[in-house]
A and B are shown apart, each in its own frame.
Chain A
Amino acid sequence: EDQVTQSPEALRLQEGESSSLNCSYTVSGLRGLFWYRQDPGKGPEFLFTLYSAGEEKEKERLKATLTKKESFLHITAPKPEDSATYLCAVQAQGGSEKLVFGKGMKLTVNP
């Protein structure tokens, strides 16, 4: 059974204090790993897709990396507007487009 575990469940940072969020996954064959951002009362907003180990993608203060077992979302010098819940999901090989999501990680950045 495909599984995704995100840690920590919640994280509080001071503005400018860099950190990383972890997403560990178990999947029969990885087709893609997705990161989403979700603001309160809104739907998930797509951030990145990673396809193979060693791949990295960046967007503003966010950088996502992928290994064979886990993905990290690095946040460099975060700002209060980076406060949100970050979701990780995996898509398995085999023809289905279904995503399996982790429970999410709530990030709070204090000014």
Chain B
Amino acid sequence: NAGVTQTPKFQVLKTGQSMTLQCAQDMNHNSMYWYRQDPGMGLRLIYYSASEGTTDKGEVPNGYNVSRLNKREFSLRLESAAPSQTSVYFCASSEAAGLTDTQYFGPGTRLTVL
């Protein structure tokens, strides 16, 4: 049981390049999330998917797109990367079946945009 996995672990892009961050979970969770973490800012929600086939914007969605490919996988795409998108990106998942819901996080992708 690997939990939440993310690829790649590290990535360096040039301004204007595109890339997709991959996330998968093997806990049969319904909801999945993408966050970014910047120094002094805390974790901020980019997009989330409450269930397969649905996605919604979070606090900082500009410059990103997401795809909930199936129940296991949730990808984050940067169409035209900008230096402001240099950050650590975390994917999380939760069962979303109870009164409150614990989110479990992946190891993160460290992205640098030059």
Contacts and interface: CB of A to CB of B under 8 A. Distances in A.
Size category, B interface: 20 to 34
A104 B42 contact: yes
Given A97-B31, A103-B41, A42 B102 contact: no
Interface of A: 31-32, 34, 36, 41-46, 49, 51, 87, 89, 91, 97-99, 101-104
B90 A97 contact: no
A30 B99 CA distance: 11
B100 A91 contact: yes
Nearest to B3: A43
- The 8 A-B pairs at the shortest CB distance, nearest first, are namely A32-B100, A43-B105, A103-B42, A101-B43, A101-B42, A44-B105, A97-B101, A43-B107
B107 A49 contact: no
B94 interface: yes
